[in-house]
Structure 1
């Protein structure tokens, strides 16, 4: 549509719209000019692994040693290697829904069976301890938590995580993978808490993080896994036989990122402030649309409204045709309003649509104006 000259607004991207901070870019350029362009140790340079250890202690209250850190080509690779290092064919992986699209597929690729635990906007998209307990069986091996969450923006409070940890403690075979890639994008009073820092959970938890979201470094492809030594060693062995070490240039840039200060320092704080302003605007506009239901996100840069009032059996849009599900609604919105969004089915939330507000305020205002016009109640009819 764009190639044909249509003005389409894309609110589907899972990456910050900001440029990588100048200090980080300069470090990458300096690495190139200094000839730092050769292979590094498989698990990352010693300087970067130590800097990550220091960051985890200062920001998260976690104690690791450099040999418990595996630097990878993005947090996605860290998750995949963590799965391969911990699960066996036939094991079960507990995944609260809505979830990031790759979790269930990675579990399947590892030979495990994903066990999806649905949550709702009414419960803030937070899995309850009772739901976790009910999902566990003797085959349960790994629980994947993402906080702040993609796609919901939900942030698990400390007391909620502590209640989940008590359930985990009662099941000695169960491990936890804590995906904390959005930890820096958290809106007060919500506060990010690392699962590994809870009582008795450090030896049961694999912590995943990276540089893509907080530092607007998505294209640099750099993440890391922090885990008990035996799991880190296994993940490192997997990496050595697949991609080997991460980019030497990106690793030098990451050192500059971590040197910006606790939780990313001023550059990250400025980005988070902008995201919060956008979050507030998008939530306010969506709440004014009759039929839209949503839980206000406390982190990340997504909102996942329940849009089921606008689709279903017998629902039609005037002058357009049937809209049976969220996929059809997303197609209607891109064709009629020229706004590109992501249907929720891929996230395990078929009643929802994900909207990314990683875009300028001017872009968001125009997009919401278009959505409001396209979602007027009199546009939709429902046959009995």
Structure 2
């Protein structure tokens, strides 16, 4: 912030309107205000600080004290400051609360504190709270920080020197606009914390993996593995050790696979022999069972042979019997036809008898009918 023009009216020791044109001092370097004690140097600080923030530059002065006791009743108390911030120009006007003479009649009335801010685009803000907030936003520092860094009033420089480190950090961060670096620092810190957590997690995972590695006690790597599992080896060395163990295990696995393959061939050969032996044993059992049955059937075979011989001797009789059976069967067939014919005769006889009866009944009815007609 660079002051351009300051106007004070009935402010502090200045009874009338007083202007300070900072443009005459140039636009670069520092502004040094000197003078005897009581000459009004602090009043200029108070006016600038009051215009910007609505309060005095020192802690031992209050805004209610700004009304000059030398001013007449018709002179208003106010401060107007035009200043540049960056390449933009602003004008702020404030008046404190004080008692002024009534326009009509006797007595005094209260003049309410007011503020007015003219922005570079010509817009005017008159709400005091809005003006206060806007000026803090424009300047980037609070009233306390402004007093400590921009205009150090008498006796206040020691406060900056004695301020705590964190407070000075806040002040200098606001002056030099280093918030972005603090944000970056916090982000780096947070990223480092996250990376550290990931590293610890990875270490835990690696430790679990290492502890799960096993090898034979007879292995040349057994002692090194114990050191790795107790944390006595670097991760890179552990990885190389695990590779060697895997390589050794792979070789042992290859040897075991070859032995297993040879064993499988032997098992297949033995299985073939056992299968053939089982087949032979099965055939042997079947042969024995067949022989046993044959021995049991020999007596029956002899009996059947004897019976067969007897039957062969009876063949002529058998032929004669078969001939007689054929004749009898022919006769039986004739008998069946006779029975059928007899049955037909019987049926016809019954039908004839029924017809005779019906005829007799009809004749009787005719006689009766004739009698009734005669």
Per the normalisation by structure 2, the TM-score is 0.22
- RCO comparison, higher one (Cα < 8 Å, 6+): 1
Q: Which has the larger radius of gyration?
A: 2
Q: Give the TM-score normalised by the residue count of structure 1.
A: 0.22
